[in-house]
Copies of this chain bind each other. A is one copy, B any other.
Amino acid sequence: MSKQLPLVAMDACCSPLAREPLSEPQAVELAKVFKAISDPIRLRLLSLIASHEGGEACVCDLTDAFDVTGPTISHHLKVLRESGLIDGERRGTWVYYRVHPEVLARLSAVLVPADPATALA
């Protein structure tokens, strides 16, 4: 169930984008993860999983929250999985997903503006 992709290339993970120019490989890796969260359904899936009690959510819970079909949700979960943002585990009948907080943290760190003061504007 895990496929553990680059997890946001380690050397691309920590220097804020506004501090120094991103290298081309760094940009390629980051773009993949941002693409994964550039869809409303995937953003909500991620949020539902991350904010769910116990830090994990069953696919059955997730599907009900949307107007699209099951296969479509499954597709979006796969995209999130392959980007390294979430991971799924089957326990009996159901499959449970949880987020990788480190990846979220790295994305957040990359986007921090150069001057922290502006963050409070």
Cβ of A113 within 8 Å of any chain B Cβ, yes or no, is yes
CA distance A108 to B109 in the complex (A): 7
A94-112 residues at the B interface, CB under 8 angstroms = 99, 101-102, 104-105, 107-112
**For the complex formed by this chain, how many copies does it contain in all?**
2
User: Which of B22, B48, B50 contacts A44, CB < 8 Å?
Assistant: B22
**Complex interface: chain B residues within 8 A of A111 (CB):** 104-105, 107-108, 111
Q: What number of A residues sit within 8 Å (CB to CB) of B?
A: 46
Cβ of A119 within 8 Å of any chain B Cβ, yes or no, is yes
Cβ of A40 within 8 Å of any chain B Cβ, yes or no, is yes
CA distance A28 to B44 in the complex (A): 9
CA distance A30 to B55 in the complex (A): 22
Q: A residues near B, CB below 8 A?
A: 17-22, 24, 27-28, 30-31, 34-35, 37-44, 46-48, 50-51, 55, 65, 99, 101-102, 104-105, 107-115, 118-121
